[in-house]
Each structure stands twice: as structure tokens, then as C-alpha cells.
Chain A
Amino acid sequence: MMDQFVFAAEVVLNGLMTGVMYALVALGFVLIFKASGVFNYAQGVLALFAAMTLVSIQNGQVPFAHLINAALGTQIHHFGWTVPAALAIALTALVMVGLAFLIEKLVLQHLVGQEPIILFMATIGLAYFLEGLGDVMWGADIKTLDVGLPQGISDGIEAATAQWFGYGFFIDRLDLWATLIAVVLVAALVAFAQYTKQGRAMRAVADDHQAALSVGISLRFIWVMVWSIAGFVALVAGIMWGTKSGVQFSLSLIALKALPVLMLGGFTSIPGAIVGGLIIGVGEKLFEFTIGPMVGGATETWFAYVLALIFLVFRPQGLFGERIIERV
């Protein structure tokens, strides 16, 4: 009995850590949705793209090497240098800002005033494009990302819990760091939104585009800014997931996992993204632990969606979302 309970506790703890990771991706969604009403399907691919760019800059890979080689018949691969992690992260952040600018300029600007579902589909197109671009630029092989974050099982926790419960908990040190970074990130974002001039402008745009325009806030600047921040959040999420499981295509699938997280938490709420992420993380781990063996396992692929689906039927706006009022 005690064993079962301790196992379950460990499962819950690991679920919480996974939930933090989901929340990191969901955070990028919420930011963009709040400020522009765009449901950004491409957030996961943004994370993948950021992680790919980071690894490749670190390794000094030549962009479009594959394409250039194929077109010109040359044999180039690397510049022959490696870039320190901090500088590479800064450079990647710059790339993400540039990307945000281009997305605003080439896509969003032309879709102002379209229906939300059209914007959603446009971001699916964007996701495909970015995925292809990432592969063409940096190659589609699985890359290992290492920016110096500690990894492996935390010995301290294992020893401490072994002392208390007679059973050592396995907690990945990376997950602990991810939790810490997520907390700092959320605090920074909330502070930014509440206390800075740009943050207030962002909230004004989220509230009402026209009213914000009429008091002199530049919509375009805010959108570029929000997409840049979302790109930065994607970079953080990409670093975490990339360090954990390698930089590969499946990274962009965590975006799909972030959708039920959002539906639970509500599309417009930053705390909602965190709470939703934790619920999904713990829920799917516990479900897999208790029910999974009975039905053949691998329930994690669908549990989050079905949970969100059932939840939505009872509370369509999510836990913290704004109430949906419809008028004719």
C-alpha cells in the first residue's frame, strides 16, 4: 500500500515537471492570442526552429549547406568554428526577432480583419513553411543540444527521499531547472505586462484593437514585439525540450499537446496556461500509471485531448478564460 502510494507520488511529481514543459509552450500561444487574437499553431514549430538554429549556430554549421551543395555541386558543411552557448543563444534570439518581423510584414499584416479560423489556417501554413525552412537550412538529422544545463538524475533528492520514505525518487535535474526557469519567465512576463509602458500597450491591444489605435498605439510594433517575445519563449521551450529529447521533428508535436493545455486553462490567461499544463502533465502520467496497463499503454497520445474535450463540454471557456458571450 505504502509502496503504491510512493510510486503514485513520484508519478505525480514527474507529471508536474512535464506539465511545466507543456506550460512553457502554451505560454507562447497565450501571449500571441491575447495580443492579436491569432491562434498560433506554429508555436511548436517555432520552438523546433529555434532549437535547430541554436544547435547549428553552436556547431558553426553553414546555413542552406545542403541546398547550396545540391545546386552548385560544392561540398561545404561547417565554417569550422564553434560558438559559445551564451553567444549562440543571443544570436538565435536575434534570428527569432527577425522572424517575428518577417511574419508580421509578410503574413499578418495582410490578414488583418479576417476571421479567426482563416488566421488559424494561415499559421498552419506558416508551420509547414517553417518546418521545411528549418530542414532546408540546417538539415533534418536529429541533433543533440547542450547549452550546459545540468542533466541526469538528481542524487540529492534521491538520497533525501530515500531517507524520508525509504524509497528514492527519480527526478531529472533538467526538469528542476526547467521549473525554475519557467517560474522566472512567467514572473518576468507578468511584470512586463503589468508595469512597463510596452506591456500596458500590449494589454490595450489585446483588449480592443481600434481603441488602442485611437490612443496612438502602433499595432504593428506591438505585434512584432509580441511575436518576438513568443519567439523567445519558443527558444526557451526549444532549449528545454531539445536538451531533454534531442532536436528533432517530434519537438513540434508538443505544440499539439499545448492545445489541450490551453483549452483547460483558457486561451487568454497566463496563469491558466501554467495550471492547465500542470493538470495535463499530472493527469496523463497518472492515467498511464493507473489505467494504462489495462488498455495497452501509450495513452499519453490521446489522454490530454479527450480530457480537454470532456472538460470543454461543461465549461467552454476553460478554467480561467473570459466568459464567451454571444450576441446576434
Chain B
Amino acid sequence: MIYREAGDFKTSYRADGQTFPIRLERWGYYTVLAVAFGIIPFVINDYWANAVLVPFLIYAIAALGLNILTGYAGQVSLGTGGFMAVGAYAVYKLMTSFPGVSILIHILLAGGITAGVGVLFGLPSLRIKGFYLAVATLAAQFFLVWLFNKVPWFYNYSASGQITAPTREILGFAVTGPTTSAPAKYLVCLVLAFLLAWVARNLTRGSIGRKWMAIRDMDIAAEIIGVDPLRAKLSAFAVSSFFIGIAGALLFAVYLGAAEVGEAFGINKSFLVLFMIIIGGLGSIFGSFAGAAFMVLLPVLLKNVLVGNLGWPTDLAAHIELMIVGALIVTFLIVEPHGLARLWRLTKEKLRLWPFPH
């Protein structure tokens, strides 16, 4: 009854073009932000931070990045894991080489470095399309993982071949390293996820986002109406890799603390993020968050139910999880190729018409 635009008049183009045009929706958004920034940091404990919220926020950033590339610009990439590894190793080298500089600057720089690498591997996209490109991005995935494994300079010649995040502080609170508290981890990820989502939203509804979507829908037609495919595709690769690099940096420095490249950033990570955007919704900011939440929560939930309640062995639960994830992907593609974001929108449409649907 209250969820509708009736009586919610707009008197300027600015008000008309805002992200949440319906008042109730806007309030909902502010409420979520208030809870996320104002309440959760005070009540969060280690379990919730490590099992759910921190990975959710980090993967949401990665999913946003991949969604910009795949959902908005239509370039399928299976190299997400490799690009996350670039972010992680970049932030590691920066942290250990310049200990005096703020970690936030390092994380942003790591994103920038990843953007450069992304553009490099995006160059073939000018010639090859569709799943040819998807396979080509596998080259990035395998080559980068091999590189970080084989060149000792990247892991500072440590004996184990692992990288370990040293302790770094923001405003006197440790955000990386073993002494980090749950609220600090959470807040760093939250601030970055919030800012990046805001950037992504505004990029994708502006001129550059429309160019991406034109390229996605039909690249030749887009070229004819004056979109430069070179700039559109490479900018999509750059922005996407920037996001993914930051996600990789956070995953390593804030969440894992120590990482081994093949294990933490293997091909499975690429698929995980790809599944997030399929299930969440291609070409949707909300979908990136929804997909990340879904894929992070599903294993936790299944583990609790199968292992915790039924007492099944963990390996069996892991295999059943594989089956469920696979079946869900197929089901989503069949029933709703646009994912959770579309379902959410349909629900809202229904709510707006309720209780008089005709």
C-alpha cells in the first residue's frame, strides 16, 4: 500500500533521475546504510565477520567488477582469479616495500596495477569475441598464477612460497595482520564496497556505461552510431580489473592474511565470481550484491544443515554443495536468465500494483 510512487512528485530532472526514485525505496536504502555503518560494527563478532560479512563484501566488489565487464560490456572473462591474484600480490609488494604509506593508498594502487594488467589482457578482445574471448582470458588466469608461483620476487623469496600480510593500521586500528579485530576488517571492506558500488552505479548509468551496453548489445551497430570499440572495451577491462584487483587485495590482506596463489586464486575463484553474477543478475549492481550474498551464504547454510544438524561427513556435504550449485546455475539460466535482480524487480512491480493488480 505504501510502496508506490503516487503522490511522490518530482520537480526537477535531478530528482527524476536519481537511483531510488520511490520514497520508500530511498528510505530502505538509507536504513540499510545506517544499519551497516551504525549498528553492525558494534555487534559484530569474529564468526560473523569471517564466515559471512567480510567475504560477502569482498566478493561483492569482485562481482561488481566482473559484472561491469560481462554484464554491462558483454565481454566474458574467466580470468577473475588471475586478476585478483594481481591485486593481492601488488598490495603485498607495496605493503612490504613502502611500510610508511597508508594501506588504503596501497589497496587503491593495487587496483590501478590490476587495471593495467587487465587492459593488457583485454587487448585481444578487439579481435575475438564471445567464448573465444572467454577461453583467451583463461590464458590470463593460468599465466598469472604460474608467474606468481615461479618468480620468487613476487613473494619476497619466502621459503614457503606464501605471501603473508604484515600488520598495518588505519587511524590507529590494525586492519591487516593477525591482531585485526572483526569490526576493523568489516569496516574497511564496507567502506570500499560502498564507495565502489557508488562509483559503479554512476559509471554505468552515465555516458561510458551506455557505450558499454551498446557494445554488449551489438558491437558493429554500436560502432556505426559512433562508439569507439577500442576505448569502450578497454575502459571496461580497466574499470573491471580495478574493482577485481581491489577485491583480490582485500581478500589477501584483510580476510585471508596469508595466501598461496594456486589455492587462493585458482580457476575455481573465477567460476565462483562468474556464478555470483549469473545468479545475482547480469548487468545489475544490486545483482552483484545479491549473487555474492547467495554464494557466500549457501555453503555456510549447507554446512550448518548437513554437517551440523544431520551429522553427515564434511566431504559428502562439499560434494552435495557442488551438485546444488551446479543445479542452481542451470535452473537460474532456464527459469530466469537475469537472476535474483530480476526476481526482486518483479516482486517490486507486484508490490506496487497490490492490492489492485488490474
- State which residues 298-343 of B face A: CB under 8 Å: 310-313, 315-316, 319-330, 333-334, 337
Q: How far is the CB of B201 from chain A (nearest CB, A)?
A: 24
**Binary CB contact string for chain B from 109 to 143 against chain A (1 if under 8 A, 0 otherwise):** 00000000000000010011011101110110011
Contact for B323 among A111, A136, A299, A328, CB less than 8 A: A136
Inter-chain CA distance A152–B173, complex, in Å, is 61
Q: State whether A140 touches B319 (Cβ < 8 A).
A: yes
Say whether A4 faces chain B, with CB atoms less than 8 Å apart: no
A256-B267, A328-B220 given; A121·B124 CB < 8 A: no
Contact for A312 among B124, B220, B315, CB less than 8 A: B124
Q: State whether A301 touches B138 (Cβ < 8 A).
A: no
Contact for A128 among B127, B326, B334, B337, CB less than 8 A: B326
Note all chain B residues with C-beta closer than 8 A to A297. 150
Q: How far is the CB of B126 from chain A (nearest CB, A)?
A: 9
* Chain B interfacial residues counted at CB < 8 A: 49
Inter-chain CA distance A302–B130, complex, in Å, is 21
Inter-chain CA distance A308–B124, complex, in Å, is 11
Contact for A125 among B138, B145, B329, CB less than 8 A: B329
Say whether A263 faces chain B, with CB atoms less than 8 Å apart: yes
Q: State whether A305 touches B330 (Cβ < 8 A).
A: no
Q: How far is the CB of B212 from chain A (nearest CB, A)?
A: 16
Say whether A110 faces chain B, with CB atoms less than 8 Å apart: yes
Q: State whether B329 touches A122 (Cβ < 8 A).
A: yes
Inter-chain CA distance A297–B146, complex, in Å, is 10
Q: State whether B333 touches A305 (Cβ < 8 A).
A: no
Note all chain A residues with C-beta closer than 8 A to B311. 70
Inter-chain CA distance A128–B326, complex, in Å, is 5
Note all chain B residues with C-beta closer than 8 A to A298. 146, 149-150
Inter-chain CA distance A256–B135, complex, in Å, is 9
Residue of A nearest to B319 (CB): A135
Q: State whether A259 touches B150 (Cβ < 8 A).
A: no
Say whether B294 faces chain A, with CB atoms less than 8 Å apart: no
- State which residues 297-327 of A face B: CB under 8 Å: 297-299, 301-302, 305-306, 308-309, 312-313, 316, 326-327
Residue of A nearest to B268 (CB): A128
Contact for A124 among B127, B132, B271, CB less than 8 A: B271
Q: How far is the CB of B77 from chain A (nearest CB, A)?
A: 12
Say whether B218 faces chain A, with CB atoms less than 8 Å apart: yes
Note all chain B residues with C-beta closer than 8 A to A121. 274, 278, 329, 333
Q: State whether B328 touches A308 (Cβ < 8 A).
A: no
Say whether B76 faces chain A, with CB atoms less than 8 Å apart: yes
Among A112-120, A232-240, A273-281, the one that faces the other chain is A112-120
Note all chain A residues with C-beta closer than 8 A to B274. 121, 124
Inter-chain CA distance A296–B276, complex, in Å, is 35
Q: State whether B131 touches A111 (Cβ < 8 A).
A: no
Note all chain B residues with C-beta closer than 8 A to A111. 333-334
* Chain A interfacial residues counted at CB < 8 A: 50
A116-B131, A328-B224 given; A129·B322 CB < 8 A: yes
Q: State whether A39 touches B322 (Cβ < 8 A).
A: no
Q: State whether B143 touches A129 (Cβ < 8 A).
A: no
Note all chain A residues with C-beta closer than 8 A to B138. 256, 259, 305
Contact for B334 among A70, A107, A127, CB less than 8 A: A107
Contact for B76 among A117, A129, A135, A328, CB less than 8 A: A117
Inter-chain CA distance A272–B328, complex, in Å, is 34
Say whether B52 faces chain A, with CB atoms less than 8 Å apart: no
Note all chain A residues with C-beta closer than 8 A to B142. 301-302, 305
Note all chain A residues with C-beta closer than 8 A to B313. 66, 70
Q: State whether B128 touches A316 (Cβ < 8 A).
A: yes
Note all chain B residues with C-beta closer than 8 A to A129. 322-323, 325-327, 330
Q: State whether A305 touches B143 (Cβ < 8 A).
A: yes
Say whether B195 faces chain A, with CB atoms less than 8 Å apart: no
Inter-chain CA distance A122–B329, complex, in Å, is 7
A305-B142, A305-B143 given; A316·B132 CB < 8 A: yes
The listed residue with most B CB atoms (<10 A of its CB), out of A111, A259, A309, is A309
Inter-chain CA distance A117–B135, complex, in Å, is 12
A132-B322, A295-B150, A316-B132 given; A70·B312 CB < 8 A: yes
Q: State whether B326 touches A309 (Cβ < 8 A).
A: no
Say whether B44 faces chain A, with CB atoms less than 8 Å apart: no
A116-B131, A125-B333, A128-B326 given; A299·B146 CB < 8 A: yes
Residue of A nearest to B334 (CB): A110
Inter-chain CA distance A127–B274, complex, in Å, is 14
Inter-chain CA distance A127–B323, complex, in Å, is 9
Q: How far is the CB of A114 from chain B (nearest CB, A)?
A: 7
Inter-chain CA distance A282–B131, complex, in Å, is 25
Say whether A131 faces chain B, with CB atoms less than 8 Å apart: yes
Q: State whether A296 touches B326 (Cβ < 8 A).
A: no
Say whether A184 faces chain B, with CB atoms less than 8 Å apart: no
Inter-chain CA distance A51–B83, complex, in Å, is 34
Q: How far is the CB of B151 from chain A (nearest CB, A)?
A: 7
Q: State whether A136 touches B143 (Cβ < 8 A).
A: no
Q: State whether B315 touches A140 (Cβ < 8 A).
A: yes
Q: How far is the CB of A309 from chain B (nearest CB, A)?
A: 4
Q: How far is the CB of A17 from chain B (nearest CB, A)?
A: 22
Note all chain A residues with C-beta closer than 8 A to B328. 125
Inter-chain CA distance A122–B311, complex, in Å, is 32
Inter-chain CA distance A316–B139, complex, in Å, is 16
Q: State whether B330 touches A122 (Cβ < 8 A).
A: yes
Residue of A nearest to B149 (CB): A298
The listed residue with most A CB atoms (<10 A of its CB), out of B76, B130, B138, B311, is B138
Note all chain A residues with C-beta closer than 8 A to B128. 312-313, 316
Besides A136-B320, A302-B146, 8 other CB < 8 A contacts?
A: A107-B334, A114-B333, A117-B130, A121-B274, A132-B322, A135-B319, A136-B319, A302-B142
Query: 12 interchain pairs (CB within 8 A)?
Result: A39-B131, A70-B310, A70-B311, A122-B329, A125-B326, A128-B323, A131-B322, A136-B319, A263-B135, A309-B124, A309-B136, A309-B139
Which A positions have Cβ atoms within 8 angstroms of B?
A: 39, 66-67, 70-71, 106-107, 110-111, 114, 116-118, 120-122, 124-133, 135-136, 140, 256, 259-260, 263, 295-299, 301-302, 305-306, 308-309, 312-313, 316, 326-328
